[in-house]
Amino acid sequence: MKKLFLIAISVSLLFSCKEKEEPEVAEVIEVDQYTIEQFMDNENAFGNGYSPDKSKVLMTSNRSGIYNMYTIPSTGGEMTPLTQSDSASVYGISYFPKDDRILFRMDGNGDEIYKIFMKDGDEIKRLTPAENVRALFRGWSREENSFFYGSNERDARFMDHYEMNLDDFSSKMIWQNDEGLNFGGMSPDRKYIAVTKSINTNDSDLFILNTETGEKTKINDNLSGNVPEDFTLDGKYFYYSTDDGEEFSYVMRYNLEDGSKDKVLSKDWDISAYYFTRNDKYQVTFSNEDAKTVMVVTEVATGNIVEFPEFENQEISSASFSMDETMALLRVGGSHTPTNSYSYDLASGDLHQLTDVLNKEIDGSHLVSADVVRFKSFDGLEIPAIYYQPHQASADNPVPALVWVHGGPGGQSRQGYNSTIQYLVNHGYAILAVNNRGSSGYGKSFYKMDDQNHGDKDLKDCIAGKDWLKTQDVIDGNKIGILGGSYGGYMTMAALTYAPEEFQVGVNIFGVTNWIRTLKSIPPWWESFKDALYEEMGDPNTEDSIRLRQISPLFHTENVTKPLIVLQGAQDPRVLKVESDEIVEGVKNNGVPVEYVLFEDEGHGFVKKENQIEAYGRIKEFLDKYLKGEGQESMDAAKAEEVEETE
């Protein structure tokens, strides 16, 4: 199964759309144009689980302008705030299994050094060390008197596995990770732990560790992508997904007693998750089908598929079950509408909507549904993409467009709702979210096609996307820009430096510009992924550094001829602030219009509403000036004058 490693920012999109090579001819309608404040006032809220008596649901929401915790009756109603942070975001984890105490996590304004906290009434207690120690929740024990978590307290490079007692909150180490392995789950009786060793960004070795004997058994026979999925409650079987011998991930069952294996499920797409509910009553499968999530829940005893309510023009993207498996929190949404949470009683069929997150000032019919399209790249390879066409676009009113590039390396633009995309589309910009070669979700051969080839064939795929846009009669082919975050930001800068005349503008959101520095400065807790990342990108400590310098836009800013805007979080641990500082300075020295938007209190992604408003509002202003309007026309006129003077 494909993994997203160092530089991941994604469009979280989960809506079912038809696949086509050409978009359907859309009816041109008049739409109201909404402000960035109105779009960012859409609430992002998600459920973290039921209280022990199932009367309440723990929610995390950014309605205050930053993420905080809330509680809401499981039958719906008003959300009651539990925290009121105005600086660092608060993310709910879970109610305690037997009482209304709550676990949550926080980091330092996006530095990704998470700590686990407990809220007990009005009291808040930090349960894991705060100073430069990263801790991640890994589940409740079967006895419901402790929880498990990973921590790099012992060694900043490695996440060990701990158990914390709920009586006195003392911790004990269950597994010391001395080999840079990745934790993949533990059997209910604590006897077995699944671990992986990353070989490259697709392939890994899979092991079962016996905690009683210390014996480690390798499960996979061949080099392949292997992902631990789940142990059964009785301790007899372990399930994992693999792409051994096939393009897409399928599910295998491993007998922990005799070591036998058998294949249990496969599709023509990747199985992205496969697990059992707490008491093994239900088995839940997720698959990544043409950039959308498809969920199937099966009753284990009967093999019957569980029927969930249907939602018009929307899809259920996840179901989180109560501990007694009688109720489920559903997330429901589409590319044209934000995701809402529902509480569903599986026995009675009672359904209660918990959130209604679309800003009441926005008419939902004015938003745009996505289409899946495909086009041929320079070498004939078929490239999938997600296309958003403004309602006001027509052959008589052609609109400017943007090629949108996902994060990664190895990410995927997916079908579903994104406020930034809808904001730009609402203001007349078509968007083509390209899944260039190297993207997840389309088979392991497609995924590996950009290994040690970044800034070349993957960039040519994006240029082919621009060329496809130019063939659409509703697009102004002279006004097409490129936009991306993280790896997508790198692709923006690669386009402006290595193909400087292909796109009219570039939007770089915390993109890598110096691969040598970025690969040398990855956070210490990603030690287990470092070799795999070097396998894909190249090792900056070897002669690979020559190629890495060649593909690093920072060293080629003299080629940039088109306007650029750069956005960056100062606390970003993945793409350091200096990356953006230096690319801005280099382009300025080249005499090209460049804007820089820096947030001191953000990391790898902007989570505070006031910063989102500033960031995405500035992007639109930049596009209005240099792609749609007078700024670009003035530049073109100036260039024409230069040509005339030269002649």
DSSP string, 63-121: TTSS-EEEEEETT----EES---SSS-EEEEEE-SSSS-EEEEE-STT----EEEEEET
* pLDDT-derived band at 631, boundaries 50, 70, 90: low
What pLDDT does 3 receive?
Answer: 40
* pLDDT at residue 311 tops 90: yes
Residue 493, H or E segment: helix 487-498
Residue-wise pLDDT tens digits, 357-377: 999 999 999 999 999 999 999
Of 276, 320, 443, 369, nearest in space to 47 by CA: 320
Collect all residues with Cβ–Cβ distance below 8 Å to 438 and sequence separation of at least 6: 408, 409, 410, 446, 447, 448, 449, 450, 451, 454, 458
* pLDDT at residue 24 tops 60: no
* pLDDT at residue 646 tops 50: no
Range 420-448 average pLDDT: 97
pTM: 0.90
- For residues 375, 380, 382, 383, the Cα torsion angle rounded to the nearest 10 degrees is -70
Range 489-503 average pLDDT: 97
* pLDDT-derived band at 529, boundaries 50, 70, 90: confident
The span from the CA of 18 to the CA of 380, in Å, is 22
Q: 2-6, 67-71, 303-307, 428-432: which has the minimum mean pLDDT?
A: 2-6
Strands 146-151 and 315-321: unpaired
Q: What's the angle, vertex CA 628, arms to CA 627 and CA 630, rounded to 5? A: 90
Strands 204-210 and 216-218: antiparallel
Strands 226-231 and 216-218: unpaired
What pLDDT does 7 receive?
Answer: 40
Laid out side by side, the sheet with 102-106 consists of 90-95, 102-106, 115-120, 123-126
What pLDDT does 531 receive?
Answer: 84
Mean pLDDT of the chain: 92
Q: 138-147, 392-401, 529-538: which has the minimum mean pLDDT?
A: 529-538
Strands 250-255 and 594-599: unpaired
Q: Would you call 542 helix, strand, or coil by DSSP? A: coil
Chain centroid to CA 407: 8
What pLDDT does 201 receive?
Answer: 86
Residue-wise pLDDT tens digits, 226-265: 999 999 999 999 999 999 999 999 999 999 999 999 999 9
Side chain identity at 537, as an amino acid letter?
A: M
* pLDDT at residue 460 tops 90: yes
Are 389 and 25 contacting, i.e. CB atoms less than 8 angstroms apart? no
* pLDDT at residue 333 tops 60: yes
What pLDDT does 452 receive?
Answer: 86
The span from the CA of 481 to the CA of 466, in Å, is 8
* pLDDT at residue 480 tops 50: yes
How many residues can be counted in the chain? 647
* For the chain, domain boundaries: 267-353, 364-646
As beta bridge partners, residue 341 has 331
* pLDDT-derived band at 304, boundaries 50, 70, 90: very high
Range 389-397 average pLDDT: 97
Output the furthest CA–CA distance in the chain (Å, rounded): 84
The class level of CATH for 364-646 reads alpha beta
Are 4 and 411 contacting, i.e. CB atoms less than 8 angstroms apart? yes
* pLDDT-derived band at 18, boundaries 50, 70, 90: very low
The span from the CA of 182 to the CA of 434, in Å, is 30
The span from the CA of 449 to the CA of 40, in Å, is 36
* pLDDT at residue 83 tops 90: yes
* pLDDT-derived band at 408, boundaries 50, 70, 90: confident
The span from the CA of 632 to the CA of 622, in Å, is 10
**Which residue's structure tokens are 């992902």?**
227
* pLDDT at residue 353 tops 50: yes
Share of the chain above pLDDT 70, in %: 93
Residue-wise pLDDT tens digits, 148-197: 999 999 999 999 999 999 999 999 999 999 999 999 999 999 999 999 99
